[in-house]
């Protein structure tokens, strides 16, 4: 078959910046990206790229295809692909400098003490041992862009070492000095990992748990934990709390097309209750009955992300009972962080759906496009935590006159970074400001309350919740509690 692709070319000796070079090559049906590069190389031997095992095991061939890191030897080639190097220092064309990244990965110092890891140790280590050091995770890590964080695979290695009984030392202080608390839990490293290693959940949060047991949790994170323990909530209530303002059952205006329970989350309950009221207005118009259990508490996300899990099970039990006791089949979340937590960290007897999934499933009410140009910020806990990107865009495109894309990137508010490492969060927020300004949009739309709160501090344009835009597209006034 014939494929036309574009390949990034860059020679630091002669070029000031990379350029995309078009190529059309003949390859076999089912060819991999590496076969395409081989075909180009046979026509132009100056093309530089790496490969070794050609079987997804050495990690040397990682490149970026259409903006996403992949292994060139395992990813199927497609017409129109844009092949670029990973976002790492480029040596030439598609070859990046892997040496500094790989040499900084901490290695185990096995003791000469005759300890043999038990089968259960080996099983616990397994999920962290598959790394092929392709550095795809390092190339996308937001914290590494603004700090000297050693990166996801280094934290993976530190946790792998922590689980190995042959390691004589305790590395958690070292991991902290290498930036353990600068990770925003964006999960991007997990999503791009060709070996599907869940570094945030299986390494970073577990190292933070060890830090917690050793009294090394950041003071600001401890305050949040104390607040959850004493009030059931991770943020203090402002003048109004959503759960105090609403009835338990909100009926739609017309025919009932569906029914969901609503998990409000701490931020929409206490800091941004207007957004949750906007959501109720959208649901009333969409024919969806909303049941709001008043017994619900914090989902525990701020505790899990910061390694403070000693009373997590109590929160989980309360939340599950709050909806299960009412026979609710679908629990809807509007906060991306709560949604990701209920989906990934709970074992729920009900289905959990983001508000954008609910509206896509049951259908939107008739809308009139709001005369603005809007861009969309992907909340990490929605994009990477729940793999939801399509639904919010489709909804937004129906609600505004013009939609413009913006490359996804963590805003810096997650993983306890906004509270515990505000400088890091602010630096990432400023990167969002630049990206937003480049779009030329009038407004930035998102769903996550943490993103909304944080980006608003780092944006020259108004930041709106998708539900607020929908209320406007219904011809109504967004909720106001002033």
CB of 186 to ligand FES, least distance (A): 25
CA distances from 393 to 78, 431, 435, 446 (A): 25, 22, 17, 10
DSSP three-state, residue 372: strand
| Parallel/antiparallel/unpaired status of strands 95-96 and 90-92 | antiparallel
Tokens at 452, concatenated: 């909304």
Whose Cβ is closer to ligand FES: residue 138's or residue 411's? 138
- On the 0-12 / 13-18 / 19+ scale of CB atoms within 10 A, 17 is exposed
Q: Cα torsion at 83, 86, 87, 93 (round to 10°)?
A: -60
CB of 44 to ligand FES, least distance (A): 20
Q: Are 357 and 391 in contact (CB under 8 A)?
A: yes
Between CA 249 and CA 256 the distance in angstroms is 13
Whose Cβ is closer to ligand FES: residue 59's or residue 85's? 59
Between CA 213 and CA 223 the distance in angstroms is 16
Q: What is the chain's alpha carbon radius of gyration, rounded to the nearest angstrom?
A: 24
The values of phi and psi at residue 446, to 5°, are -145, 180
Between CA 306 and CA 186 the distance in angstroms is 13
Whose Cβ is closer to ligand FES: residue 36's or residue 335's? 36
CB of 140 to ligand FES, least distance (A): 18
Buried b / exposed e along 153-176 (16+ C-beta atoms within 10 A)? bbbbbbbbbbbbebbeeebbeebb
Site string for ligand FES, 214-233 (x = CB under 6 A): --------------------
How many C-beta atoms surround the C-beta of residue 66 within 10 A? 11
User: Considering the rule CB under 6 A, would residue 35 count as an interface residue with ligand FES?
Assistant: no
Q: Are 28 and 1 in contact (CB under 8 A)?
A: yes
Q: How many residues bind ligand FES (CB under 6 A)?
A: 12
CB of 58 to ligand FES, least distance (A): 3
CB of 194 to ligand FES, least distance (A): 8
Whose Cβ is closer to ligand FES: residue 49's or residue 181's? 49
Whose Cβ is closer to ligand FES: residue 133's or residue 394's? 133
Residue 111 CA to its chain's centroid (Å): 37
CB of 334 to ligand FES, least distance (A): 40
> Which among 260, 267, 324 is positioned nearest to 299, based on CA atoms?
267
CB of 74 to ligand FES, least distance (A): 7
Between CA 361 and CA 391 the distance in angstroms is 10
CB of 2 to ligand FES, least distance (A): 24
Terminal alpha carbon distance of the chain: 63
CB of 54 to ligand FES, least distance (A): 5
Whose Cβ is closer to ligand FES: residue 52's or residue 170's? 52
Between CA 141 and CA 425 the distance in angstroms is 13
- Only one of the segments 5-13, 46-54, 254-262, 369-377 lies at the binding site for ligand FES (rule: CB under 6 A); that segment is 46-54
Residues in 47-86 that interact with ligand FES by CB under 6 A: 51-54, 56-61, 71, 73
How many C-beta atoms surround the C-beta of residue 2 within 10 A? 8
Whose Cβ is closer to ligand FES: residue 74's or residue 373's? 74
DSSP three-state, residue 273: helix
Whose Cβ is closer to ligand FES: residue 52's or residue 109's? 52
Whose Cβ is closer to ligand FES: residue 37's or residue 338's? 37
Q: Are 225 and 308 in contact (CB under 8 A)?
A: yes
Whose Cβ is closer to ligand FES: residue 58's or residue 404's? 58
Tokens at 182, concatenated: 């600068």
Host H or E run for residue 158: helix 152-162
Whose Cβ is closer to ligand FES: residue 71's or residue 291's? 71
CB of 62 to ligand FES, least distance (A): 7
CB of 72 to ligand FES, least distance (A): 6
> Which among 211, 108, 199, 116 is positioned nearest to 155, based on CA atoms?
199
Whose Cβ is closer to ligand FES: residue 65's or residue 276's? 65
CB of 30 to ligand FES, least distance (A): 16
**Site residues for ligand FES per CB under 6 A:** 51-54, 56-61, 71, 73
């Amino acid at each position: 078959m014939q494929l036309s692709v574009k390949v990034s070319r860059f020679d630091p000796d002669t070029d000031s910046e990379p350029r995309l070079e078009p190529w059309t090559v003949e390859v076999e049906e089912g060819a991999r990206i590496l076969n395409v590069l081989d075909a180009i190389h046979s026509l132009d031997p100056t093309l530089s790229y790496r490969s070794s095992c050609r079987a997804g095991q050495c990690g040397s061939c990682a490149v970026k295809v259409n903006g996403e890191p992949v292994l060139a030897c395992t990813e199927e080639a497609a017409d129109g692909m844009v092949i670029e190097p990973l976002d790492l220092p480029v040596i030439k064309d598609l070859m990046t400098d892997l040496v500094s990244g790989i040499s900084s990965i901490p290695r185990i110092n096995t003791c000469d003490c005759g300890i043999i890891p038990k089968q259960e140790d080996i099983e616990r280590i397994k999920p962290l041992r598959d790394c092929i050091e392709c550095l795809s995770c390092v190339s996308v890590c937001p914290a590494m862009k603004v700090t000297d964080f050693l990166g996801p695979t280094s934290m993976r290695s530190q946790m792998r070492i922590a689980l190995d009984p042959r390691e004589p030392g305790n590395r958690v202080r070292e991991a902290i000095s290498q930036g353990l608390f600068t990770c925003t839990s964006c999960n991007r490293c997990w999503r791009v990992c060709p070996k599907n290693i869940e570094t945030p959940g299986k390494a970073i949060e577990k190292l933070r748990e060890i830090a917690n047991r050793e009294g090394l949790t950041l003071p600001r994170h401890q305050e949040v934990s104390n607040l959850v323990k004493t009030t059931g909530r991770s943020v203090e209530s402002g003048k109004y709390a959503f759960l105090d303002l609403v009835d338990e059952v909100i009926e739609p205006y017309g025919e009932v097309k569906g029914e969901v329970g609503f998990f409000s989350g701490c931020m929409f309950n206490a800091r941004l209750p207007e957004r949750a009221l906007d959501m109720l207005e959208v649901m009333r118009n969409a024919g969806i009955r909303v049941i709001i259990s008043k017994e619900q508490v914090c989902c525990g996300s701020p505790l899990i992300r910061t390694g403070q899990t000693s009373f997590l099970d109590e929160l989980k039990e309360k939340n599950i009972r709050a909806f299960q006791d009412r026979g609710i089949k679908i629990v809807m979340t509007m906060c991306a962080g709560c949604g990701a937590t209920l989906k990934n960290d709970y074992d729920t007897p009900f289905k959990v759906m983001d508000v954008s999934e609910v509206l896509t499933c049951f259908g939107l009410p008739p809308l009139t496009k709001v005369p603005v140009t809007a861009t969309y910020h992907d909340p990490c806990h929605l994009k990477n935590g729940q793999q939801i990107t399509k639904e919010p865009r489709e909804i937004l495109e129906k609600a505004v006159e013009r939609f413009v894309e913006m490359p996804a990137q963590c805003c810096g508010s997650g993983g306890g970074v906004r509270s515990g490492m505000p400088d890091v969060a602010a630096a990432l927020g400023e990167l969002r400001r630049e990206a937003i300004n480049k779009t030329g949009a009038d407004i930035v739309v998102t769903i996550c309350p943490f993103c909304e709160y944080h980006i608003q501090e780092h944006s020259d344009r108004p930041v709106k919740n998708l539900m607020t835009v929908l209320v406007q597209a219904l011809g109504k006034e967004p909720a106001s509690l002033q």
